[in-house]
Structure 1
Amino acid sequence: MVFTAHAAHLLTPDPAFLKFLWTGVDLFFVISGFVFAPLLLSGGFAIRPYAIRRVFRLYPLYLVSLPLYYLIAPESPDKLLYLLRHLVFLGTTSGAHEAFFFNPAYWSLPVEVEYYLLLPLLALIVAGRLWVVLALFGGFCVVRFGIVLGATSFASPDPNWLSILRVHLPGILIQFLIGVFVHVAHQHWSDSGRRLWPMLAGAGGFALWLSLGLFFARHGDPGISAHLWLKSYFSLLCAIGYGLMLFGLLGLLRGLDGRARRSAFFLGNLSYGVYLFHILVLRLYERSDLALPGVLAFIVCALAVLVLALLGHHLVEHPARTFGRRLASRYQPMQAPLHSRERAADSSLGSAQ
């Protein structure tokens, strides 16, 4: 979805609705919250093996992609400084110019890292109590409104600190928590065996998502910014739509056969590479002398991104994750009840949109 949003200009000169697919990043935050919900609700877990798995999941392919973007980035007196700050996920702490300097899609990585860092503390605070998650959600909805109310533009030369917080976890945690609610609801309804409510929820989520997409296609970012409530909660509404659709799909897809599951895991394994490399491919295409018809250009770029993602997975990601799991297993406490959950989370999440 995000690749299509960034490549929409290749398909049509007026990509209004296709640009709305940037909200795929909101879907990712929901999925991330869903996958790590068992850890959040666990009451506590072994931190060292969890941290090792997260590092070896996130860092290796990122460290491969970052020098490639450095090579094609424009010259700037701050270029090396930006590189060093991106290495420690601080590239979104000064404004849009630095955040988007190498790869605009990188902006969501610090949010994900912050969620990983906060998760052990959240697990202790929540201690398996859903009402605490609800309280956190309500509290951070208020925080989000206050941030947006006082934030200047992130794209301005000198954005204020509220603008910075808007693109970090204080402004985005509520979207992860939507995924936690989806996990709890799915556990409840999957045990009951009833599919009507998940199907209705999925249909309602699609209707909400489509309404938001049509609004964006007609009014764009200015239309969102014209209303304080929409400006504050448009992404949250998208996350709710995605969460409802995810809930519905989980109910429908329980009977997937082995081949379908293998296909899903294969595509999931490519997702991080697609996230990291799609802007690289699009920029290289724009700099080339190729003048392909729009649809063909889109297909060629998409295939190139998939090939890079496939190579990255087999040459870097899979070996690094395997090593990380082996290293983490040395520090896994005996009879730790969440070992299988951590492994499931590590296997299921495509890491970052």
Structure 2
Amino acid sequence: MKQNEKIVKESERFFYIDSLRGIAALLVVFQHDFVPLLGGDSDHFFWRYVLDAGKMGVIWFFIISGFVIPYSLKEGEGALRNFAISRFLRLYPAYWLSMGCALLAMSIAGAVMPPTRLILANITMFQTALGIADLSPVYWTLFIELVFYIICASAFAVGLLGKIKFRLTMVIGMMVLAMLMGVARDVFNMRFPVALPLALSLMFFGSIWRDALVDHCAVAKKYATWVLALYCFAMPLTFYMAYRTDMGYGETWTRYACTYAFSIATFIFFTQKFRITGRFWVWTGAISYSVYLFHPLVIRMVAYWLTPFDFPVLLVAVIAVASTLLVAHLVYTLVEKRFINLGRTLQRRPVKPVAVTGP
């Protein structure tokens, strides 16, 4: 019986999703490590106007969250408590470690330390909501993840998360909100957070796509088609209005449009037509969170240590990637995995009934 249960559990694991998660992390590393060697965003036409590999990885991350997270909320006693425990212990320990390592590296290098207010805000992972800068340039996506978790938990609490019409409404509503923000950004020349509703729309699309792909739900297939048609019209318009004027980040609307279109198309292709399940890619998926968190620091440290030796820059970039994978593997093994297991242990504990006393 136990052997049969093990087979079922292994068959339920989406190894191709793990692989895409790993590739997504490596795309972000590629953007930060190799693209500067290939001309950089500002000097090379392709990287400036056509494709942002790092953003492609982030888009995959968002769709994967929608593919996975809503289904981790399961009916039963203590469902929301278990979800909160799982998500907290999955995200925060490695995140805090990356913060500590970054601050330690800054101290050793003699860099100007960030103000205490910024550090304290970043500890919460809600610094964006507080209007405070990220300690690391990759932290911005984590706030969006938290917003998605809160929406999913709230929808689950009132019985809406399992309803596909609710998720379709969220996809469309967030896309419309992104369009309105894009127009407002253009009209008022102000930086409205277009990325937030766009990401949430993609996340809820990911859940609809899973229903269509895994459960073979006819309604989900129809809705997914509608959403893709909406994206074909709405996304280019949103990007044109939001990013035709560069507000200081080297933004070009064509790069946004091409990157989002290519990212969504390739995600659909690699989940429907050509599933990658090789051991290396599945392994990179397991350590992808630590790859994402630690790669900026590792890249800087490797460059700092190897610059005096006058190695070819391409070799330094390759060493940085290898070092990132090694560090991520260590963090996953020594930190992430242990806290994930702790979370599972805590979730197995029964919920204590609340004693009701009379007046």
Same fold flag (TM > 0.5): yes
CA distance in structure 2 between the partners assigned to 1:134 and 1:40 by the alignment: 18
Q: Matched residues in 2 for 1:9 and 1:261: separation? A: 26
Which residue identity does 2:127 align to in structure 1?
G
Aligned-pair CA distance for 1:84: 0.5
- Which residue is 2:139 aligned to? 106
> 1:131 pairs with 165, 168, 189, which one?
165
**SS in structure 2 of the partner of residue 98 of structure 1:** coil
d(CA) in 1 for partners of 2:73, 2:172 = 17
Say if 1:50 and 1:37 are closer, same or farther in 2 by CA, change over 3 A.
Answer: closer
Give, in whole Å, the separation in 2 of the partners of 1:177 and 1:239.
15
Report the CA distance shift for 1:249/1:235 in structure 2 as closer, same or farther (over 3 A). Answer: same
User: Structure 1 242/88 Cα, relative in aligned 2: closer, same or farther at 3 Å?
Assistant: same
| Aligned equivalent of 1:70, options 84, 90, 103 | 103
Distance 1:93 1:280 in 2: 24
Contact 2:181–2:242 (CA under 8 A) maintained in structure 1: no
**CA distance 1:40–1:310, change in 2 (3 Å):** closer
Amino acid corresponding to residue 316 of structure 1 in structure 2: V
How much has 1:287 moved relative to structure 2?
3.0
Distance 1:323 1:298, change over 3 A: same
* 1:276-316 CA-partner distances (Å, limit 9, x unpaired): 11100122234333432122111100011011001101111
1:44 Cα deviation (Å)? 11
Q: Which moved more, 1:127-136 or 1:306-315?
A: 127-136
Contact 2:28 2:54 in 1 (8 A): yes
1:72 Cα deviation after fit = 3.4
The total of aligned residue pairs comes to 294
The gaps in structure 2 that reach 5 residues or longer are 1-26, 353-359
1:193-213 Cα distance to aligned partner (Å, 9 max, x none): xxxx9xxx9xx99xx9xxx9x
Question: Which residue identity does 1:226 align to in structure 2?
Answer: R
Task: State the match for 1:342 in structure 2.
Answer: none
Q: 1:252 to 1:139 in 2, by over 3 A?
A: closer
| 1:107 to partner: Cα distance | 1.0
**Structure 2 counterpart of 1:346:** none
| Structure 1 stretch displaced more, 1-10 or 24-33 | 1-10
1:5 to 31, 34, 37: 31
Q: Specify the alignment match of 2:148 in structure 1.
A: 115
Instruction: State the partner residue of 2:19.
Output: none
1:13-92 equivalences under 5 Å are 13-14=39-40, 16=44, 17=46, 20-23=52-55, 24-39=57-72, 46-73=79-106, 74-76=111-113, 78-92=114-128
For 1:98 and 1:133, the matched residues in 2 are separated by 31
Matched, 1:184 2:211: yes
- Unaligned 5+ segments in structure 1 are 153-158, 192-196, 216-220, 334-353
1:166 aligns with 2:194: yes
Aligned-partner Cα distance in 2 for 1:233–1:186: 30
Q: CA RMSD in A?
A: 4.0
Greater Rg over alpha carbons, structure: 2
Q: Which moved more, 1:60-69 or 1:15-24?
A: 15-24
CA contact (8 A) 1:61 1:317 kept: yes
Q: Check 1:184–1:43 CA distance in 2 against 1; reply closer, same or farther (3 A cut).
A: farther
Counterparts of 1:332 and 1:235 in 2: how far apart (Å)?
46
Q: Residues 230-269 of structure 1 correspond to what in structure 2 (within 5 A)?
A: 238-239=259-260, 241-252=262-273, 260=277, 262-269=279-286
Distance of aligned partners of 1:49 and 1:37 in 2 relative to their CA distance in 1, 3 Å threshold: closer
| Correspondence for 1:311 among 330, 341, 347 | 330
- Shift of the alpha carbon at 1:79? 2.2
Q: What TM-score do the two structures reach when normalised by structure 1?
A: 0.70
Instruction: State how far apart, in whole Å, the 1-side matches of 2:208 and 2:146 are.
Output: 21
Evaluate the alpha carbon distance shift between residue 243 and residue 330 of structure 1 in structure 2; reply closer, same or farther with a 3 A threshold. farther
Percent of pairs with identical residues: 24
- Cα distance, 1:28 vs structure 2: 0.5
**Aligned partner of 1:133: which letter?**
R
When normalised by structure 2's length, the TM-score is 0.69
Distance 1:240 1:305 in 2: 29
1:21-40 Cα deviation digits (max 9, x unpaired):
02211111011111124357
| Structure 2 residue aligned with 1:325 | 344
Q: Which has the larger displacement, 115-124 or 175-184?
A: 115-124
* Secondary structure of 1:36's aligned partner: helix
Q: Which amino acid aligns with 2:30?
A: T
The answer to whether residue 302 in structure 2 is matched with residue 278 in structure 1 is no
